[in-house]
Amino acid sequence: MPQPKHVICPTCGFKNGLPLANQRCVSCGAKIEDLKRALSRHEEMERRYQQEGFSPAWFGISLVIVSVLTAAIVMGVPMVVPLFDFEGSAGMLVSIPVWFLAGILVGLISPGRTFIEPVVATFLVAMPTAFLLFQSQTVKAMPAFMYVLMSALGVLFTLIGSYVGERVQMGPPPKTTE
């Protein structure tokens, strides 16, 4: 089988002539590695928990899960059980564990590694939730910047929850033989 005379850079698409100087693209300088080479065991272990892309389908599923859980627990439970009153700061304090559980749920049910999708979905749900809770506060009041900080904390807890869900889904890491 004859060797190819050119290699195309996966970063910029430039057609480079072989042999390459320092294994780098002439146009953009990106490192061009042999794409047919298999990853070593150590490299596979390092890449085990890294997300490789953004899935719009799982973003949509995450958005539905986060918004339904937030609406059901923060808004719906006080309507059904009047004893619970999640207005103002109490609503934000309840939203954080709800978003954490939503992250765990998406991490458990999604194939592959999906950490970013539930975080972006929670970010989009946290903005109107914080605004609605800020507008409806009466007794349990907080300043507006605290709603922003608590929303950011909820987004962070969603990331932690999705990571925990992915770890549970993948199982324990394989034993190293080193």
Ranges of each domain in the chain: 6-46, 56-170
Q: Which of 106, 141, 135 is nearest to 120 (CA)?
A: 106
Tens digit of each residue's pLDDT (9 = 90 or more) over 64-83: 999 999 999 998 998 899 88
Nearest in space to 158 (alpha carbons), one of 109, 94, 98, 86: 98
Q: Name the CA dihedral angle for 82, 84, 88, 93, rounded to a multiple of 10 degrees.
A: -160
Q: For residue 160, is pLDDT > 90?
A: yes
pTM check: above 0.75? no
Q: What is the pLDDT of residue 24?
A: 79
